[in-house]
Amino acid sequence: MSPPLRHRFRRGAAADPDEPPGPESAAGPTREPAPAPDPAPAPEPDPGRAPTSEPRRRAERRRTLAHLTPVLLLRTAHPRQALLTATGLAVAAAISGRAGREVALVFATVLVGQAVLGWHNDLVDRRRDERRLPSGKPIADGYLDPGTVWFTLVCGVLLLVPLAISNGVTSGSVYLATIGVGLVANVVLRRSWFSWVPWAVAYAGYPAFLSYGGWGGEADGAPPQVAMVVLAAALGVGVHVLCALPGLVADHEDGLRHLPLRVALRIGATRLLVLALAWTVLALAGLLVVGNSVGLSR
């Protein structure tokens, strides 16, 4: 290439920014490099379309299942306490020599009775629980309509009565009386120093419920041992204290003065927990010893 043509070519070509200019390109003006085209704007997300990621779908599915009415009713029934009480009485019935179908009947009766008490408890405490949201209570948090719970509670009572009488008229009447005591306690006594009384009375009725029980409405048993009644009442007091411990702070703020709170204010919640555990274990051990030596009934 001749020098004139080479000179014209270098003047018209774009200079490489990474290469130092040669003598010929430095001598003459060079053309500015063409600007790079602007990148295409990213498409804006459609506000009407929800994200479809798999974790989001799983979370929504879990949230939907947790808010189903049967699940909410189960949570409102205080299921842990109901299962523990029903299992404990069913085990006691099995130890006393009852047949398998009678043990199953005891379990079903107590489970339904405890569910009724749990539903009633959350209905009574609804206004108080609404002061601290979220409370963890489906009724207070607005996930469950109180009318639905009242309807379920009435259905539970209608189921509980024939279940209880199926253990025998005397046995079923005793158990229905313990449920009545629990319902009254939900409204009045549990807020005062006498909060331990309904627990003691209800648990004192359990030995009679078992000793008079059998299969069918014509079942007729025998009176319970007095020692079993006293020890069962003591067990009820211990269970009352253990159940009250998690809510001591909220109860104190609401102005309640039940027995566990009064004792905790004097000795501390930790010491009260230790004492309640020791009391409950001793009462259970006493029930086992007396039941093994003299039996459940006279």
Q: Mean of the pLDDT values across residues 11-35?
A: 44
Q: What is the DSSP secondary structure assignment for residue 65, as one 8-state letter?
A: H
Tell me the pLDDT band of 36, cut-offs 50, 70 and 90. low
More confidently predicted of 141 and 54: 141
Domain assignment of residue 12, yes or no: no
CA dist 262 and 241 (Å) reads 11
pTM metric for this prediction? 0.75
**What pLDDT, on the 0 to 100 scale, is given for residue 12?**
43
Domain assignment of residue 164, yes or no: yes
Q: Residue 278: is its pLDDT beyond 70?
A: yes
Domain assignment of residue 44, yes or no: no
**C-alpha distance from residue 127 to each of 8, 142, 195 (Å):** 92, 11, 20
Percent of the chain with pLDDT over 70: 76
Place of tokens 């509980």: 160
Q: What are the tokens at 170?
A: 């005397």
**What pLDDT, on the 0 to 100 scale, is given for residue 253?**
80
Domain assignment of residue 280, yes or no: yes
**What pLDDT, on the 0 to 100 scale, is given for residue 219?**
66
Q: Residue 182: is its pLDDT beyond 70?
A: yes
Domain assignment of residue 131, yes or no: yes
Domain assignment of residue 52, yes or no: no
Angle, CA 155 vertex, CA 164 and CA 205 arms, to 5°: 30
CA dist 228 and 210 (Å) reads 11
Domain assignment of residue 56, yes or no: no
**Whole domain around residue 270: which residue ranges?**
67-293
Tell me the pLDDT band of 10, cut-offs 50, 70 and 90. very low
Please state the domain count of the chain: 1
**What pLDDT, on the 0 to 100 scale, is given for residue 38?**
52
**What pLDDT, on the 0 to 100 scale, is given for residue 94?**
92
Domain assignment of residue 42, yes or no: no
